[in-house]
Structure 1
Amino acid sequence: MRRRTFLTTLPAGALAAGAAVGAPAAPSQTPAGSGQAGQGAARAYPYTGVGPGDRIMGAPFAGRSTAWGTQGAAATAHPAATLIGIDTLRRGGSAIDAAIAINAALGFLEPTANGIGGDAFCLMWDPAQGKVVGLNGSGSSPRGLSLETARSKAGSDGYLPRYGAVTVNVPGTVHAWWAAHQRYGKLPWRDVLMPVVEMCEQGVPMPQLIAWYLERNMAGFDRSAGIIEDNDNRKRVYAPTGRTPRVGEVFANPDLGRTYRAIAEGGRDAFYDGPLADQMQAYFRRIGGWMTRADLVAHRTEWVEPIMTTYRGVQVYSLGPNTQGLSTNQILNVCERFDLAGMGFQSAASIHVQAEAKRLAFEDRARWFADPSFAATPVEYLNSKAYAAERAALIRPDRVMDRAMPGDAPTQGDTTYFSVADRDGMMVSWIQSNYRGMGSGLVPDGMDGHTLGFMFQDRGELFNLRDGHPNVYAPGKRPFHTIIPGFACKDGQPWMAYGVMGGGMQPQGQAQIIINMVDYGLDPQEAGDAPRWQHEGSSEPTGHPAEGSGVLHLETGVPEETKAQLRAMGWTLGGPNGGFGGYQNVVRQVNAQGPWTYGAATEMRKDGIALAY
């Protein structure tokens, strides 16, 4: 079914839902209803002191209800991506088919957070096997880029730069699509991707938040143009009229449509061992980069065994290193030692324990996490309840720890996230990213004067340059990764495919979702709409040291009494900074009467919607 035909078959309420989005932390958009959609200097909205409207049912801070259905569900960061996922399911596709279509669509619709120049990870419930399975779709550094050369590109601070060819690793996303489709796809490969090709060619109106981020990303590239080897191609794709698209204006990317068409017709090999690979290699030769066709040909997606912990009887699954998934488990393992429910929802005591658990977990993250092919992380020990008990004992109930240190274990941002589930019980938790917003700043040349329409990731920035560190740069090595999907089960059966995007916010956000639902009884939408905390300033796997006890950022909805008590404990508090992540969730509910059902929830801090049918 063509996209426009599908849109006309949906109820009006489903289409209108796409307009219900929250304002960004520091908006540069003119207020809605002003008759303008300019993107000049930031303007204050004239709504000071105005709170949300009143809901007759549910938590007062929830922006909408959970969407329920029996046949399938999807929750994404853009309404059109959710719609194309539901359409794929209705056409008989599996949840993996829908996930691939959604991810391809988001690479066009939300280029500020993801694209085929980046990497992908997945946790999913396989109903045939009756278990959670994991997929690691991260790429390696170029084999022709030495540690010595990487160090020569470091900035004055001694760390790798945030943009440019030295930060580019092999993109893993397309290979991850192919590997997942080969195992779980129902629709023909071409049929999964062609509706997205049409979308890229026809264009889609630009939503509020993505328009804001796109303008900010392009301005950031302009400020750093001196370290980016090519600045023309990105402007041709994302600012074709000399500026980025404004809210409500139709944005198209026919160059990306041509690339998707080649992948739809040629499969994985078109990207990794065919004409697109040739174009990418030629581009890096032109600009003086390092990635080659041989690097692309050598790439493989890895099916991995997830790591699991329990939180008050719920089985919580994560992906191990080179991701930070273990950090979610560690935060929950420490929090389980405390009576958070008794402390009270959004209380100072509860937030204090959660934030201290994060500080402890992130010191282990900085010390140990790396590509397991190059360094052995003591995962079993760090994931254990015994270790969590030792770490929990370090938390003081009345004041902040002076300094958090990594445990003595035995030797051994931006992102898009979405959830989707099908009628057969398959549930997919998928996360994909170019890393720092849009990525490296580099958009490869295409044929006949075109580009390939996507930007390469800058994930290589996360390598460490210090000898002896597990995450030290090496040719053909995968860097430490922040992006992590989440999955949880109850009594060995799937419960929810969930995630919270946003760099180091991800394990903090995932833990808060689990705690909100398990300890405080919130439903999926309420759990995501609840005010969040975010701690910054921990040590990093790149080698950046901790900044004292860091800064604990709190959203506006956290009670003032809670904030005052946290200050008295010694916390340095920060206000809303736009870094609280983006959440999606699809839950499976077993009902006493009738069949199980799906509930879909989405992030009120983003542009997306959740639908179920």
Structure 2
Amino acid sequence: MIEFSAGRPATRSPHGMVTSPHALASRAGADVLRDGGTAVDAAVATSAALSVLYPHMTGVGGDAFWLIYDAAADAVRYIDGGGRATSRGTIEAFQRRGLDEVPYRGPLPGTLTVPGSVASWSMAHAAYGRLPLRRCLESAIGYARDGFPVTARLAHWRDATRQDLAKSPEAATIFLKEGPTLTNADLARTLEAIASDGWYGFYDGEVARELVRYSDANDGFFTAADLLAQSARWGEPLMGRYRDVTIYETPAPTQGFAVLKMLNLLEPFELHKKPFLGPDAVHFMVQAKQIAYHDRDRHLADPRFADVPMDRLISKDYADERRALMDPERALPWDRIPSYGSLSGDTVYIAVVDKAGNAVSLIHSIYGSFGAAVVAGRTGVVLQNRSAYFSLDPKSPNRVEPGKTPLHTLIASLAFRNDKLWAAVGCMGADGQPQIHMQVYSALIDHGLDIQQALDMPRFLSGRFGLLEPRDTLHIEARFPSETIAELDRRGHLLDRWGDWDETAGHAHGITIDPATGERLGGADPRSDGEAVGC
């Protein structure tokens, strides 16, 4: 056992546990568990509350991906809640507008894909919900209607996005008002419609008509038919093994395979025998990331439109081949194994375990801070800019096509030990998400940290946040041992030395289950406004 002091202990509960990046949202989910709700009921409640409380990171205008553990069936199920490109979403449509890439902000990326999260709520709740949907959305509706305190983090990201929000009159009216509280009456009405009519309350009826009106008025892509065509999809999760732990990750079009690929590359290096937070572990993790992301950028796309060789990508044999690229002595230059993603992106992660042992690992996002930075008319809905991940290169497997979901950085995970549910782990952080999964799982499995310690420990992210940064920049929190940072510098890593704590290192959250007692241990990232709440 490694001696490592977390800033607060893990939350313990004999029955249920909810963790998320906002304390009020976690409490909303825990209240649903206390009322007899399932893990899915609590996850919907938490996700909906975050859609109000954390509008810079998530919302009903975004996408969501789920892993659900059904304890009675002893099975892990996957829901793809990714929004699909509209019927007007073609390369030619952008060429006619004189654009050679999908814009990052504005109505065009906001309306290019249909929001998928509400469809995923509806599908999960229909299969595993016990309480009425209205009860699950009760807290979210109340916070939207009556208001909630603006945290320092929300104020920071609002100010950082102020210029873009000001371009949307509807967004400016809601988010740029001064004051200690924020209300969104239009969003409350949208949530009321969902509470009353589920999927139909968002994709059909008054809300849908207003979404389409907004799109038409702003040269957007939504049509009524596109909204009606949106549905979530059941699928098969990915499964891999690292040492004695079986890990499930979300499949394509998400980048969940990258976690399994990185762990496959790392396993023979026996990180459990290397110093915790030492230079060898970081050095090998960074190189594993480079190789996995190179494969991601060559192959990952919507598997309904592209041939993604997933079995090979997550195989131990392929990892053995690719491991030959790793250099124990020197950093690998980016141009030797290039990848093209960006670390910038905002997301929320929710983990829930109920008293029956069912679990949800849920990732929900509008991508960039405040998504596309537009609100769709009188719906109160912040539209996502996930479609900015589409390529306009006709040769790219991730090129935009009607009905297609873009490459997604969103991932969620569940882990099992001795065939029993052991952990739910996830995070925000765009391209940083697989790297954070890797670091947290290594801390838990290789070094025996508890969940809160694993979330508190210093973190690194390899890649660039801004266009002027080298793509192989290694951002690293200063709480790493000075000897580790010095040795990484000596091995040729291009270091960006963060302070002791940096929010851009991501918000990670998780729950573990004590195999002997069944006790739930919850952790929340101190880089967020989050809290793990037991019941």
Shorter chain as denominator, the TM-score bin is over 0.9
Q: Please report the RMSD computed on the Cα atoms of aligned residues, expressed in angstroms.
A: 2.0
What is the letter of the counterpart of residue 585 of structure 1?
Answer: G
Aligned to 1:568: 490
Q: Distance in 2 between matches of 1:436 and 1:276?
A: 23
Q: Which has the higher helix share?
A: 2
Q: 1:434 aligns with which of 366, 388, 401?
A: 366
Q: Distance in 2 between matches of 1:276 and 1:120?
A: 20
Aligned to 1:358: 289
Q: Size of the alignment, in residue pairs?
A: 524
Aligned to 1:507: 434
1:233 aligns with 2:170: yes
Question: How much does 1:405 deviate?
Answer: 3.2
Q: Distance in 1 between matches of 2:510 and 2:497?
A: 26
1:54-77 alpha-carbon deviations (Å, 9 max, x no partner) = xxx995541110111111001111
Q: Distance in 2 between matches of 1:184 and 1:549?
A: 43
1:276 aligns with 2:207: yes
Aligned to 2:317: 386
Question: How much does 1:296 deviate?
Answer: 0.7
Q: Distance in 2 between matches of 1:359 and 1:199?
A: 42
Unaligned runs of 5+ in 2: 340-344
Larger radius of gyration: 1
Q: Distance in 2 between matches of 1:275 and 1:251?
A: 24
Aligned to 1:65: 9
Q: 1:608 aligns with which of 525, 530, 535?
A: 530
Specify whether residues 65 and 236 from structure 1 end up closer, same or farther in structure 2 by C-alpha distance, changes over 3 A only. Answer: same
Aligned to 1:260: 191
Question: How much does 1:549 deviate?
Answer: 6.3
Matches within 5 A, 1:304-343: 304-343=235-274
Question: How much does 1:567 deviate?
Answer: 0.9
1:482 aligns with 2:409: yes
1:159 aligns with 2:101: yes
Q: Distance in 1 between matches of 2:274 and 2:97?
A: 49
Q: Distance in 2 between matches of 1:512 and 1:151?
A: 42
Q: Distance in 1 between matches of 2:426 and 2:522?
A: 12
Q: Distance in 1 between matches of 2:347 and 2:188?
A: 21
What is the letter of the counterpart of residue 291 of structure 1?
Answer: F
Aligned to 2:84: 140
Q: 1:589 aligns with which of 504, 508, 514?
A: 514
Question: How much does 1:217 deviate?
Answer: 2.1
Question: How much does 1:341 deviate?
Answer: 2.0
Q: Distance in 1 between matches of 2:101 and 2:175?
A: 29
1:549-608 alpha-carbon deviations (Å, 9 max, x no partner) = 6100101101111111111111100122642110111111122xxx41111100010111
Contact residue 74 and residue 610 of structure 1 kept, 8 A: yes
Aligned to 2:342: none
Question: How much does 1:167 deviate?
Answer: 1.2
Secondary structure at the residue paired with 1:186? coil
Secondary structure at the residue paired with 2:430? coil
What is the letter of the counterpart of residue 80 of structure 2?
Answer: N
Q: Distance in 2 between matches of 1:536 and 1:153?
A: 31
Q: What is the TM-score when the length of structure 2 is the normalising length?
A: 0.94
Aligned to 1:420: 352
Q: What is the TM-score when the length of structure 1 is the normalising length?
A: 0.83
Question: How much does 1:343 deviate?
Answer: 2.1
Question: How much does 1:291 deviate?
Answer: 0.5
Aligned to 2:70: 126
Q: Distance in 2 between matches of 1:499 and 1:201?
A: 30
Question: How much does 1:219 deviate?
Answer: 3.4
Aligned to 1:19: none
Specify whether residues 598 and 143 from structure 1 end up closer, same or farther in structure 2 by C-alpha distance, changes over 3 A only. Answer: same
Aligned to 1:531: 458
Unaligned runs of 5+ in 1: 1-56, 226-230, 408-412, 446-450, 539-543
Contact residue 11 and residue 534 of structure 2 kept, 8 A: yes
1:89 aligns with 2:33: yes
Specify whether residues 221 and 185 from structure 1 end up closer, same or farther in structure 2 by C-alpha distance, changes over 3 A only. Answer: same
Specify whether residues 165 and 443 from structure 1 end up closer, same or farther in structure 2 by C-alpha distance, changes over 3 A only. Answer: same
Contact residue 108 and residue 219 of structure 2 kept, 8 A: no
Contact residue 326 and residue 383 of structure 1 kept, 8 A: yes
Q: Distance in 1 between matches of 2:328 and 2:97?
A: 45
What's the % identity of the aligned pairs? 34
Contact residue 115 and residue 433 of structure 1 kept, 8 A: yes
Q: Distance in 1 between matches of 2:26 and 2:323?
A: 40
Question: How much does 1:233 deviate?
Answer: 0.5
Question: How much does 1:325 deviate?
Answer: 0.6
Secondary structure at the residue paired with 1:336? helix
Aligned to 1:113: 57
Q: Distance in 2 between matches of 1:196 and 1:572?
A: 43
Aligned to 1:38: none
Question: How much does 1:548 deviate?
Answer: 6.5
Q: Distance in 1 between matches of 2:307 and 2:403?
A: 17
Question: How much does 1:264 deviate?
Answer: 0.8
Q: Distance in 1 between matches of 2:527 and 2:274?
A: 27
Specify whether residues 221 and 204 from structure 1 end up closer, same or farther in structure 2 by C-alpha distance, changes over 3 A only. Answer: closer
Q: Distance in 2 between matches of 1:61 and 1:252?
A: 38
Aligned to 1:405: 337
Question: How much does 1:547 deviate?
Answer: 7.9
Contact residue 554 and residue 575 of structure 1 kept, 8 A: yes
